[in-house]
């Protein structure tokens, strides 16, 4: 959305341009400069010269201004010709009169006295200028801050105003409708219901029901939460205020709270309407959770204000707050309480069908070749979010363009997927023949173990083409399952250790190439022991904290002794998996070597190659989607 802020109440003031301050300052300074030197022809005169001129009767008038300066006019001129800075006033008059007397002048020139209140100058000097100076500095300071910190430059007088964009009949948003949001059927149904609440409140309140005040969209990044909210703006036909959580946050105390107040005031005037707060975790983080720095007072007061406002407006006042976050776990519990965000809509990563529909949406404007199948692509992209898929489509189009094709073909999509998963192919990364051999055996180790273990995800594709940070990669064929058994987790761990084990079995030495494998396996084992209760010694305990209210980074919920047991059990589990991998690979060293050789020759191998070496997997395959795992090495 563009910088198209349309806040009806502050429109007039917003036009105030800060460059005016600079212009006014410049004018003032110029005026000051010229005032001080009007009458260019003035000349300072010394006493001796003055006396001389008086005695020659060349002087027609001496005017003493403010008892300080004498303005001296010569004969025949109208303007002041000379000025003289008088010392003590009496002395001056005395000297002047005496000089004329001495010369015997009949009509001596008497000095006249005048008080000039140079209001303009005095006022300017003592009042305006210092103030102007202070204001100028303030403006510069604030603008700098605005620019540096939060991107809201030049809005000093609006700092407490909400920065929400308003979309309504006159100000239509970027055209997003439900048609542009694929999948997310449940979410859409809920949203439609909420829009209906706004439009026909009587239908629901007639029976005494209360309309929800707040709806929270929760889900991983890139799943279309913002998109969904935008589509509501397009569909709902009610005013829609859109703001991001971070827009409330500013360096200055009280600004956030005041912005919340302003936003709700504006909204109430436009009701029925929707307020959308994106990335609400920026302000909605649990309060006072961090005992070390005492939390962030400004953010807390912003959150408190939000809670107050949500409590403040009546249930049926026709304002619904829609918010989105991918960190529902860290949100303050008070936000989720009934009467605030009492509805939560989960926006999940798309499943097979969802991915297909998202491909459909994003392929609408692409020129596709005949061999492109959405079904197939959806199968190739498990775990991809909507944003990833949008990215795949765009990358594929760019790829095809680079290859000067007329249409985008299947291969372009495949390459785009590879690229998004693993980064760019690094064809010219220098890898010695020895390194290549190690990488090939490492990947072959993963492939072999996973092929030979019943519960591991069978491999479909292995490459040793370096890509992004990884030197090789293995694509698995995971089942999309909801619960995972201990065996499944354990077999996956063995397959993950298969890379290092192959290095050990074949070369008798191990390398750093297994870093990411080890990281993964360690985390997995730790989770099995401390979260899932899958270890006999720890037993059916879980130290997982789904509420996010406990700060386990500071205090462990278990004793030192338990901590030692956990360490021991995690180590045991990983070690066991490694031994098992060594065992499998020693028994199948031939197959492993054949596979590695094939990899060295072809750089990419598929499940067919594995089948040719090890035979068909006896356990059958129901599922046929793939996912990819990367390894450094």
Partner residues linked to 273 by β-bridges: 319
User: Under a CB-based contact definition with an 8 Å cutoff, are residues 247 and 293 in contact?
Assistant: no
List the catalytic residue out of 443, 580, 629, 632.
443
What is the closest distance, in whole angstroms, from the C-beta atom of residue 362 to ligand ADP in the complex? Answer: 6
Q: Which of Mg ion, Zn ion, ligand ADP, none binds 358 (CB below 5-8 Å, type-dependent)? A: ligand ADP
Closest to 63 (Cα-Cα) out of 104, 102, 109, 128: 109
User: Under a CB-based contact definition with an 8 Å cutoff, are residues 274 and 198 in contact?
Assistant: yes
Nearer to ligand ADP, 351 or 487 (CB): 351
Q: Establish if 223 lies at the interface with ligand ADP (CB under 6 A).
A: yes
What is the closest distance, in whole angstroms, from the C-beta atom of residue 335 to ligand ADP in the complex? Answer: 18
What is the closest distance, in whole angstroms, from the C-beta atom of residue 437 to Mg ion in the complex? Answer: 45
What is the closest distance, in whole angstroms, from the C-beta atom of residue 386 to Mg ion in the complex? Answer: 11
Instruction: State residue 241 phi and psi, 5-degree precision.
Output: -95, 125
Q: Which two tokens stand for residue 242?
A: 């859109």
User: Under a CB-based contact definition with an 8 Å cutoff, are residues 577 and 517 in contact?
Assistant: no
Nearer to Zn ion, 190 or 517 (CB): 517
Q: Establish if 631 lies at the interface with Zn ion (CB under 5 A).
A: yes
DSSP-assigned letters across all residues of 532-583: S---TTT-S-----TT--S-TTTS-SS-HHHHHHHHHHHHHHHHHHHHHHHH
Name the closest residue to ligand ADP (Cβ). Answer: 386
Q: Establish if 581 lies at the interface with ligand ADP (CB under 6 A).
A: no
Q: Residue 187: exposed, middle, or buried by beta-carbon count in 10 A (0-12, 13-18, 19+)?
A: buried
- Count of residues near Mg ion by CB under 5 A: 1
Identified binder of ligand ADP from the candidate list 72, 184, 323, 605, rule CB under 6 A: 184
Nearer to Mg ion, 146 or 183 (CB): 183
Q: Establish if 278 lies at the interface with Zn ion (CB under 5 A).
A: no
Nearer to Zn ion, 181 or 459 (CB): 459
Q: Which of residues 313-372 bind ligand ADP (CB under 6 A)?
A: 324, 358, 361
What is the closest distance, in whole angstroms, from the C-beta atom of residue 251 to Zn ion in the complex? Answer: 46
Q: Which of residues 207-236 bind Mg ion (CB under 5 A)?
A: 226
Q: Establish if 496 lies at the interface with Mg ion (CB under 5 A).
A: no
Angstrom distance (rounded) from CA 261 to CA 257: 6
User: Under a CB-based contact definition with an 8 Å cutoff, are residues 350 and 359 in contact?
Assistant: no
Q: Which of residues 227-246 bind ligand ADP (CB under 6 A)?
A: 227
For the chain, helix, strand, coil in percent to 5 are 50, 15, 35
* Radius of gyration of the CA atoms of the chain, in A: 40
Q: Establish if 182 lies at the interface with ligand ADP (CB under 6 A).
A: yes
Identified binder of ligand ADP from the candidate list 225, 299, 457, 491, rule CB under 6 A: 225
Q: Which of Mg ion, ligand ADP, Zn ion, none binds 223 (CB below 5-8 Å, type-dependent)? A: ligand ADP
In 26-157, the DSSP E strands lie at: 43-44, 59-65, 69-74, 82-85, 111-114
Q: Establish if 386 lies at the interface with Zn ion (CB under 5 A).
A: no
Q: Establish if 492 lies at the interface with Zn ion (CB under 5 A).
A: no
Reply yes or no on whether 443 is catalytic. Answer: yes
Spatial strand order of the sheet with 319-325 comes to 165-167, 240-244, 273-278, 319-325, 214-218, 343-346
> What residues make contact with Zn ion under the rule CB under 5 A?
499, 517, 631
Give catalytic residue positions.
443
Using CB under 5 A, list all residues that contact Mg ion.
226
Which spans of this chain sit near ligand ADP (rule: CB under 6 A)? 181-184, 221-227, 324, 358, 361, 386-387, 390
């Amino acid at each position: 959305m563009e910088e198209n802020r349309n806040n009806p109440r502050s429109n007039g003031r917003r036009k105030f341009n800060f460059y005016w301050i600079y212009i006014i300052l410049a004018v003032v300074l110029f005026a000051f400069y010229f005032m001080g030197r009007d009458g260019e022809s003035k000349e300072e005169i010394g006493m001796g010269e003055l006396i001389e001129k008086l005695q020659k009767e060349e002087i027609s008038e001496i005017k003493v201004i403010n008892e300080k300066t004498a303005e001296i006019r010569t004969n025949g001129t109208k303007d002041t010709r000379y000025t003289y800075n008088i010392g003590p006033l009496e002395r001056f008059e005395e000297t002047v009169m005496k000089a004329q007397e001495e010369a015997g002048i009949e009509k001596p020139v008497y000095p006249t006295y005048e008080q000039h209140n140079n209001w303009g100058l005095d006022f300017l000097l003592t009042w305006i200028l210092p103030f102007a100076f202070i204001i100028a500095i303030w403006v510069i300071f604030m603008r700098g801050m605005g620019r540096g910190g939060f991107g809201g430059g030049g809005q000093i007088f609006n700092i407490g105003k909400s920065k929400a964009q308003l979309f309504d009949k006159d100000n239509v948003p970027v055209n997003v409708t439900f048609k542009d949001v694929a999948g997310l059927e449940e979410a859409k149904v809920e949203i439609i219901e909420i829009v209906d609440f706004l439009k026909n409140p009587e239908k629901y309140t007639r029976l005494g029901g209360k309309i929800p005040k707040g709806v929270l969209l929760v889900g991983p990044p890139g799943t279309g939460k913002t998109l969904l909210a935008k589509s509501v703006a397009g569909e709902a036909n009610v005013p829609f205020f859109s703001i991001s959580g971070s827009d409330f946050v500013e360096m200055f105390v009280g600004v956030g709270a005041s912005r919340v107040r302003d936003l709700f005031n504006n909204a109430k005037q436009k009701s029925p309407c929707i307020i959308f707060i994106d990335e609400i975790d920026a302000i909605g983080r649990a309060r006072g959770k961090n005992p070390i720095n005492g939390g962030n007072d400004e953010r807390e007061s912003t959150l408190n204000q939000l809670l107050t406002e949500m409590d403040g407006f009546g249930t049926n006042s026709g304002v619904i707050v829609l918010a989105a976050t991918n960190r529902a776990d860290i949100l303050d519990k008070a936000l989720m309480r009934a009467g605030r965000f009492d509805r939560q809509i989960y926006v999940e990563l798309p499943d097979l069908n969802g991915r297909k529909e998202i491909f459909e949406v994003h392929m609408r404007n692409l020129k596709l070749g005949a061999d492109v199948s959405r079904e197939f692509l959806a199968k190739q992209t498990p775990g991809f979010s909507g944003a990833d898929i949008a990215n795949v489509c765009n990358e594929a189009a760019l790829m095809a363009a680079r290859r000067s094709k007329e249409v985008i073909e299947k291969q372009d999509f495949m390459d785009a997927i590879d690229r998004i998963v693993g980064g760019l192919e690094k064809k010219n990364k220098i890898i010695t023949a020895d390194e290549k051999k190690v990488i090939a055996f490492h990947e072959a180790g993963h492939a072999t173990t996973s092929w030979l273990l019943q519960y591991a995800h069978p491999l479909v594709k292995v490459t040793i083409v370096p890509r992004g940070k990884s030197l090789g990669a293995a694509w698995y064929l995971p089942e999309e399952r909801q619960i995972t058994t201990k065996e499944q987790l354990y077999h996956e761990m063995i397959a993950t250790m298969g890379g290092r084990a192959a290095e050990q079995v074949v070369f008798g030495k191990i390398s750093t190439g297994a870093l990411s494998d080890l990281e993964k396996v360690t985390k997995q084992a730790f989770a099995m022991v401390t979260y899932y209760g899958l270890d006999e010694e720890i037993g059916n305990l879980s130290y997982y904290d789904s509420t996010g209210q406990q700060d386990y980074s500071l205090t462990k919920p278990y004793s030192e002794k338990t901590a030692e047991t956990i360490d021991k059990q995690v180590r045991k589990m990983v070690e066991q998996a490694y031994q098992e991998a060594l065992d499998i690979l020693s028994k199948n060293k031939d197959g492993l070597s054949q596979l590695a050789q094939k990899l060295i020759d072809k750089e990419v191998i598929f499940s067919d190659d594995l089948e040719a070496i090890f035979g068909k997997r006896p356990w059958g395959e129901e599922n046929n989607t793939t996912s990819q795992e990367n390894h450094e090495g």
